[in-house]
Amino acid sequence: MKRFRFPQRNSLPAAALRYASLAFLLFLITAPLAAQPSATPQIPYTSVPNFFKLPAGMYFGECAGVSLDSKGNIYVVNRGRHPIIEFHPDGTFMRTIGDGLDVFEAPHRVEIDPQDNIWYVDAGTNLIVELDQQGRLLRVYGKKPEAWTWLTHVVEHGAGLPWMFNQPTDLAFGANGNIFVTDGYGNSRVAEFNADGNFVKDWGERGPAPGQFHTPHSIVMDSKGTLYVADRENRRVQVFDQNGHLLKIWHGMGAPWGLCITPGPTQVIYSADGFTGKFYKLDLNGNILGEFGKPGKKLGEFGWTHGIACPSENVVYAAEELNYRVQKLLLHPAQ
């Protein structure tokens, strides 16, 4: 039986030895550079332990989104038995919302508009619903898939109407009452509806080019009406005016799963990369002001942060899929 033998060093061609030596030298030169820590400032933070106080026997499922109303009450959307749960600003349980409503399949986001109406986004039923503070259904956007028509192949290859969604992910509110929807996993576009609920226009399609999207996963609007879209699988944030004109593209914050924007005259944006557990603080020009966070199960670590809320510059709420929880984070940036 013939045995394989590694070649002796002197059997290698001289050119190969030279290339190997050069590669090793380059490794020695560049390895220390690669090992250097990030130049982005690290923001110290703490996570408030046991902040959310659920009643006995009630649990979160996968937490997909979190939002606050004008009173500071906190709304959590999760994939458990009670998809929308409201908490007092101190974390005490207040109520569940929408129980029995036939829209809950894949809870994806909850947002609160300036009138404190509650907007729920479901990526499975292709619906967005608006509820008032009493939990009454005000308006429905989109259309649920009809199982019987798919089974009989009636609309298997039919084109969806522009007011219909294909796995929507989030929405933002314009000052005139219009809403802008990231739609989403299937359509990869932004769709606008007016204050009466009528479709206005849309822009974007699947792809990596500027103005295209691959899973637009979150959207926020600043006080001047500029839109910021988390283009998750393209690992960037794209910035648009309300007519859909591309203004800027931001890179360098990983894969943005969730965005939030602070209120007030000097706004900042937080972006969460669910894959890495990192959060990035940005100004409205896309400059990264700081970062924090790491993956894990312990308090202050993160498992697929899916949605975030930032009622102030130094308070962030993080809704996690893998850890079935929402954390309240207090940031302590250097003065």
Q: With 0.85 as the threshold, say if the pTM is over it.
A: yes
SS (H, E, C) the chain: CCCCCCCCHHHCCHHHHHHHHHHHHHHHHHHHHHCCCCCCCECCEEECCCCCECCCCCCCCCEEEEEECCCCCEEEEECCCCCEEEECCCCEEEEEECCCCCCCCCEEEEEECCCCCEEEEECCCCEEEEECCCCCEEEEEECCCCHHHHHCCCCCCCCCCCCCCCCEEEEEECCCCCEEEEECCCCCEEEEECCCCCEEEEECCECCCCCCECCEEEEEECCCCCEEEEECCCCEEEEECCCCCEEEEECCCCCEEEEEECCCCCCCEEEEECCCCEEEEECCCCCEEEEECCECCCCCCECCEEEEEEEECCEEEEEECCCCEEEEEEECCCC
Domain boundaries, the chain: 46-331
Architecture of domain 46-331: 6 Propeller (2.120)
Q: pLDDT per position in the chain (335 positions), as tens? A: 433 333 343 433 444 434 444 444 444 333 433 334 558 899 999 999 999 999 999 999 999 999 999 999 999 999 999 999 999 999 999 999 999 999 999 999 999 999 999 999 999 999 999 999 999 999 999 999 877 665 666 555 555 799 999 999 999 999 999 999 999 999 999 999 999 999 999 999 999 999 999 999 999 999 999 999 999 999 999 999 999 999 999 999 999 999 999 999 999 999 999 999 999 999 999 999 999 999 999 999 999 999 999 999 999 999 999 999 999 999 998 75
